[in-house]
Structure 1
Amino acid sequence: MSDPTKDSANDSTNALTRVKDKPARRRWRKALYWTAVIVILLVAGAFIALDQLTYEPQEDAVAALQSVGGVMAVIQPDGYYFEPASGEARQPAVIFYPGGLVEPAGYAPLARAIAERGHRVYIFSMPLNLAMFGANRAYGIIANRPEDRYVIGGHSLGGVFAARYAAKHQDAIEGVYFLASYADDGGSLSGSSLSALQITGTRDGVMNQGSWTDAKSNLPADTTYVAIEGANHGQFGMYGMQRGDNEADITPEAQVDAVADAMTAWMDKLGKE
C-alpha cells in the first residue's frame, strides 16, 4: 500500500520540474525559430546576390532565338536547341556549357552561327547558372540521340566542367573545345585519344593566364590552339561587358563568326580522321 505522504511529495517534485522545464522549452523554441529565420534570410540574400551578379542576354542574343534564316531554334526546359532548318545536320553535334553566372541565351548568337554552318547545337541551362551544379547535363542528349557523334565544351567555367564530363565519358565524346577556358586536374584529358580545341582572345582580361598555361599539361596530344586577335572574354557570348574584362578591338559579331569558323574547321578535321 502506497504512502500518501510520499506520493504527495513526488507529485510536488514533478510539478516543480514541469514548471522549470517550461521556460527551457520556450527558450529552445525561440532559438530554433530565430535560427530558421536567419537561415532563410541568408539563403534569400544569396539568391538575390546571384541574381544581381548574373549576366543577362543582350537584345541581339534574344533575337538569335528566333527560327529564321535557315536555322531552327527551339526553347527547351533544359536549355536551347539549334539546327539547320532542313533537318540535315553535319556531324558531330555540339554540346555547350555556359560560363559561370551567364544565362544560356547569351550564347544564342554563337549557337546560331554554328548551326548556320551545318551543325546541331545544344546549349544547356545550369542550376543557378553555374555549370558545377549541372556537369552531367549532356548525358540525356547523348542517350536520347545515340546515332549522333558529339563534341562537348563551353565558355570559361562551362569549359572546365564540360572537360570533367568528357574525361569520364570518353567513349561517347569525340572532342572537347574550350572557349577562354581549360581542363583542370579533375577533367584531365592527358593521354586520351580525344581531340581538343582551345580558343582564346588576345584582349581577355578575365581568364587567368597562369592557370591556362599550367593546365596545358591536362590536354591530349591532339590539341589545336587558336588565338583570336582583338577578342575579349565576354564576347564569346553576347551578354554585355564582363567585370574585369578588357575592351575588345573587334565587334561581338566578328568574334562570334571567328569562333564559329574555328570550331567548324576543327570539327571538319574530326570528320576526316
Structure 2
Amino acid sequence: MKQKLRRILLIVLGIIIGLAAIGIFYIRTQTYQPTTQAQASAEQAKSLDGTLVFKGKSEQPAVIFYQGALVDNASYSLWAEKIAEKGYTVYLPKAPFNLAILGENNAEKIIKENHIKKYVIGGHSLGGVMASRFAAEHLTDQSLDGVFFLASYPEAKGDLSAFKGGVLSLTGSQDGVLNRKSYDKGKAFLPEQTIYTEINGGNHAGFGSYGEQKGDNPAEISNEEQQAAIADQLVHWLQQLD
C-alpha cells in the first residue's frame, strides 16, 4: 500500500514538474526580445542582478521603470540611454519571467541599495499598472517625485488621485493593444495635475524596441522616431518636476 501511494505521489510530482517546465518554456518562447539596436544600448548599461542601470547625475531624480508583460527589460534601452544622457539615472529592473506582476516591489530594493533620495517610477502596459500600485503604497514618501505611464493606466489598487507629485500619461495614436475603455476608467485614479500626451503615429510596441506585437496596429512613424519622442516627453516632464 505504501509503495503504491509512493508511486502515485511520484507520478503526480512528475506531472507537476512537467507542466511547470512546459509553462516556463512557453513563457520564454513568447517573450519579446530587444532589437539589435536596443541590445547594443543595453550593453552600455551596468547590469546589477538583471537590473540595467544607465547612469546620470546623482543630484537628479532617478527613473525606475517596469517592463511590459513578456517584454525583456533591455527592450527599453534606447530611450533610457537618451534620458541618462540628459542627467537622469534610469533603472530597468528585470521581473521574474518578464512579468512585472511578479516584481511589483523591485523598486524598493533599488531605492534602498542605491540610497536614492529622489525618484520617479513608471511602466509600460502591465508594468505601469504595477508601478502605480507601488506608488500608491508610497504616496507619503517624500522621495517620490512623480509617476508616469507609457500606454498604461492605474486601477483601484494603484489609486493616485490624492498624489501631489507629477504624473504623466503617454500614449500612441496607433496603439492597438491598449484597452481604451479601461484607460478612460483609469483616469478616475489619477490626480487633476496629470499631463496627458499622445505620440502621433506611435503604437504600443513602439514604447519599447522589440519589433511587432500581437494585436497591435502598425506605427505610422519609425521606432527611432517614437523612441526619440518618448525621451523628449519624459525629459520635458522631468525638468518640470525640477
- TM-score tier, shorter chain, comes to over 0.9
The residue type equivalent to 1:176 in the other structure is V
Stretch deviating more after TM superposition (25-34 or 243-252): 25-34
Distance 1:236 1:53 in 2: 18
Unaligned runs of 5+ in 1: 1-23, 68-72
Stretch deviating more after TM superposition (74-83 or 123-132): 74-83
Look up the match of 1:47. 24
Larger of the two Rg values belongs to structure: 1
Alignment CA distance shift 1:270-1:44 (3 Å): same
Q: Please state how far the C-alpha of 1:217 moved relative to its aligned partner.
A: 0.2
Q: Please state how far the C-alpha of 1:214 moved relative to its aligned partner.
A: 0.5
The residue type equivalent to 2:82 in the other structure is A
Q: Deviations over 1:26-72 (max 9, x none)?
A: 321221111111111110110011011111111011111243xxxxx
Q: Deviations over 1:12-39 (max 9, x none)?
A: xxxxxxxxxxxx2232122111111111
Look up the match of 2:101. 132
The residue type equivalent to 2:146 in the other structure is G
Stretch deviating more after TM superposition (74-83 or 230-239): 74-83
Q: Please state how far the C-alpha of 1:213 moved relative to its aligned partner.
A: 0.4
Stretch deviating more after TM superposition (139-148 or 96-105): 139-148
Distance 1:77 1:261 in 2: 29
The residue type equivalent to 2:5 in the other structure is W
Look up the match of 1:116. 85
Unaligned runs of 5+ in 2: none
In the TM superposition, 1:12-91 aligns within 5 A as 24-67=1-44, 73-84=45-56, 88=57, 91=60
Look up the match of 2:66. 97
1:181 match: secondary structure? coil
Distance 2:58 2:181 in 1: 38
Given that residues 100 and 157 in structure 1 are in contact (C-alpha distance below 8 angstroms), is that contact kept between their aligned partners in structure 2?
A: yes
In the TM superposition, 1:1-273 aligns within 5 A as 24-67=1-44, 73-84=45-56, 88=57, 91-146=60-115, 148-170=117-139, 171=141, 172-271=143-242
The residue type equivalent to 1:60 in the other structure is Q
What's the C-alpha RMSD, in Å, of the aligned pairs? 1.3
What is the number of residues matched between the two proteins?
240
Distance 1:43 1:236 in 2: 31
Distance 1:166 1:55 in 2: 26
TM-score, structure 1 as length reference: 0.85
The residue type equivalent to 2:54 in the other structure is F
Q: Please state how far the C-alpha of 1:115 moved relative to its aligned partner.
A: 1.0
1:197 match: secondary structure? strand
Given that residues 191 and 221 in structure 1 are in contact (C-alpha distance below 8 angstroms), is that contact kept between their aligned partners in structure 2?
A: no
